[in-house]
Amino acid sequence: MLKLHREDILMLRCPKCQEKIIKDENRYVCKNNHSYDIAKQGYVNLILANQKSSMSAGDNIDSLKAREHFLNKDYYKPLADSLIMLANKYLDDGNVFLDAGCGTGYYLQQIINGSIKDINFYAVDISKKGVIMTSKKCKSATCFVGNIFHLPFEEGALDGLMSVFCPYSNEEFSRVIKKGGYLFAITAGEDHLFQLKEIVYETPYLNKEEGYKLEQFDLIEQFNVTYNMDLKNNEDILSLWRMMPYYHTTAKEDNNKLESIDRINCIADFLVSVYKRC
Ligand SMILES: [Zn+2]
């Protein structure tokens, strides 16, 4: 039986005219001759200048470096393991799966390594530096710079999509995920990093724990991944804090309270939600 090569089943479309784009040596091109070069690092830029405006604080290079440092220590491996479990449970051979907001590529790399199925992996992020990091880790994935609110995919192109601590779009996700396809969403659990918040804030609050508010999707599975992390040195603690959204909304003197902490036991608490496109 002829095995389809990854490039033969590309479902990307041109961000300018929405026609299908196909791979042509070192570029992607549509029938209207809009062309997108594949960078030497292996990714392609599929974002239009006017779609770059939603750049968030999480995309800056310091935040990416903090994430790279912290995640590479495998403190979040139990979360990655549950994503691997979901991929093996819900996806099938030949499926198309997108990491929408891939960041540094840590979770996608884990899924690729742990997948028992033959999946066509895609990764998108608005941060070019994040996509380059992902592209280095995930050689078998098609990685592109793009905006999750304007995904360059055909309608119903995806069998699965994951969204890990990222913004989401009901409209765009329901357009690109086919009927019967799956969305894996990761959000913060109630207790996530409470021990760090106790140090930084006078009145720390529990997180408001919630999944995504979606139409055209049914919630079919939801559980918490909760465990204790032994954060062993100040660099790990600061890296974790700097990759959190709180860091950017907290006063400098409060963030600095973590500078003198060298070891702490801290709860990691994630809400894992699986939605099925109906
Ligand atoms: Zn075009």
Q: Indicate whether 62 pLDDT > 90.
A: no
pTM of structure: 0.93
At a CB cut-off of 8 Å and minimum separation 6, what does 214 contact?
Answer: 170, 173, 174, 183, 275
- Do 141 and 134 touch, CB atoms closer than 8 A? yes
Q: Indicate whether 58 pLDDT > 80.
A: no
Report how far ligand 1's centroid is from the alpha carbon of 21 (Å): 7
Q: Mean of the pLDDT values across residues 225-252?
A: 94
Q: Mean of the pLDDT values across residues 61-82?
A: 95
The fraction of the chain above a pLDDT of 90, given in percent, is: 86
Q: Indicate whether 31 pLDDT > 60.
A: yes
Neighbours of 163 (CB within 10 A): 22
Q: How far is CA 12 from CA 66, 118, 235, in A?
A: 31, 19, 40
Report how far ligand 1's centroid is from the alpha carbon of 128 (Å): 21
CB contact burial 227-264 (16+ within 10 A = b; e otherwise): eebebeeeebbbbbbbbbebbeebeeeebeebeebeeb
Which pLDDT does position 248 carry in this prediction? 86
Q: Mean of the pLDDT values across residues 61-77?
A: 94
Which pLDDT does position 9 carry in this prediction? 56
Mean pLDDT lowest for which of 10-24, 85-99, 121-135, 182-196? Answer: 10-24
Report how far ligand 1's centroid is from the alpha carbon of 54 (Å): 23
> φ, ψ for residue 28 (rounded to 5)?
-110, 145
Which pLDDT does position 57 carry in this prediction? 39
Which pLDDT does position 199 carry in this prediction? 96
Report how far ligand 1's centroid is from the alpha carbon of 246 (Å): 39
Report how far ligand 1's centroid is from the alpha carbon of 52 (Å): 18
Q: Residue 2: pLDDT band by 50, 70, 90 thresholds?
A: very low
Report how far ligand 1's centroid is from the alpha carbon of 56 (Å): 27
Give the whole-angstrom CA distance, residue 245 versus residue 63.
10
Report how far ligand 1's centroid is from the alpha carbon of 216 (Å): 29
Q: Mean of the pLDDT values across residues 91-95?
A: 96
Report how far ligand 1's centroid is from the alpha carbon of 73 (Å): 42
Q: Assign residue 180 a region (left: φ > 0; alpha: ψ between -120 and 50; beta: otherwise).
A: left
Q: Residue 246: pLDDT band by 50, 70, 90 thresholds?
A: confident
The fraction of the chain above a pLDDT of 70, given in percent, is: 94
Neighbours of 223 (CB within 10 A): 12
Which pLDDT does position 4 carry in this prediction? 42
Q: Mean of the pLDDT values across residues 9-19?
A: 87
Q: Which residue has the higher pLDDT, 248 or 197?
A: 197
Q: Residue 3: pLDDT band by 50, 70, 90 thresholds?
A: very low
